[in-house]
Structure 1
Amino acid sequence: MTQQGLRKPRVLFLCTGNTARSQMAQVLLEQHAGERYEVISAGLEPGEVNPLTVRVLEEAGLPTAHLQSKGVKPLIAEHFTFVITVCDRAEQNCPIFPSATYRLHWPFQDPAAAQGSEEERLTVFRQVRDEIEAQVQAWLRERA
């Protein structure tokens, strides 16, 4: 609740597995505007949070202890001001959120699909983290 007794706008980041992109988006929006937004992430087919997701967030000094992969089904009836899909598959298969005010699509490549050595895969995770952070900051500037 805010000082005026009004609820913060709720933001749901949605991707397929809730293992990388949506988790990063959640943490980054919480970091930049957690006092202004209630932020949740979920997946169509939730898996385990990718260890490389945790690693690149922690490298950036961001908290990860609260991260947990969650499914979207229990959230469908809840009100969200923004439902933001962060992968094309989630956008194509996103369930209807009857109580969502806005639905946005921010497509990012899947870092979990990266091939190569651990360092090569980390490079992709870092790139996606930085792209998501830039998108979050641009979105917040638009909303200021």
Structure 2
Amino acid sequence: MMQIYFLCTGNSCRSQMAEGFAQEILGDQWQIASAGLETHGLNPMAVKVMAEKGIDISDHRSKLIDPDYLNHSDYVVTLCGDARDRCPVVSADVVKIHWPLIDPAQATGTDAEKLAVFRAVRDEIEQRMIDFKNQTV
């Protein structure tokens, strides 16, 4: 079974959305997880915009990086520069991929304006997951 790990700073938005899309797009042939350098809690706007796509991540929890899972992964995908730069060293067998995504949790303005940023990041993650699947299958 292939294993993938999505990492970002707080495991609250980007990596949670990536985990949700991976479960939907890659299916049960993959072991899928996400984590952060810190735990910031699951962002409610991430839950909301994923629900708009029919993907329920409301039961996800913000988790710290598990070194064992990290080193047994086939792929490690970092979703921000912070995670890329601070990710623990992994085995040379692990394929490292970087998706430089803006942090939607930093969006400012009205709730509608913030949701627009979350949707844009969500849609980019979805497309990147589709591309990833097409390149790895």
Q: Same fold (TM over 0.5)?
A: yes
The 4+ residue runs of structure 1 with deviation greater than 6 A are none
Match of 1:5 in 2: none
Structure 2 portions without partners, runs of 5+: none
Please tell me whether residue 77 in structure 1 is matched to residue 68 in structure 2. yes
* Paired amino acid for 1:130: D
* Distance (whole Å) between structure 2 residues aligned to residue 41 and residue 77 of structure 1: 13
* Distance (whole Å) between structure 1 residues aligned to residue 14 and residue 124 of structure 2: 10
What is the CA RMSD across the aligned residues, in angstroms? Answer: 1.2
SS in 1 for 2:127: helix
**2:18–2:129 contact (8 Å) kept in structure 1:** yes
Instruction: Name the one with the larger helix percent.
Output: 2
* Paired amino acid for 1:64: I
**Structure 1 residue 98 displacement after superposition:** 3.1
Match of 1:16 in 2: 9
TM-score, structure 2 length as denominator?
0.94
**Structure 1 residue 143 displacement after superposition:** 1.2
* Distance (whole Å) between structure 2 residues aligned to residue 83 and residue 91 of structure 1: 10
Sequence identity percentage:
38
1:112 aligned to which of 97, 102, 105: 105
TM-score, structure 1 length as denominator?
0.89
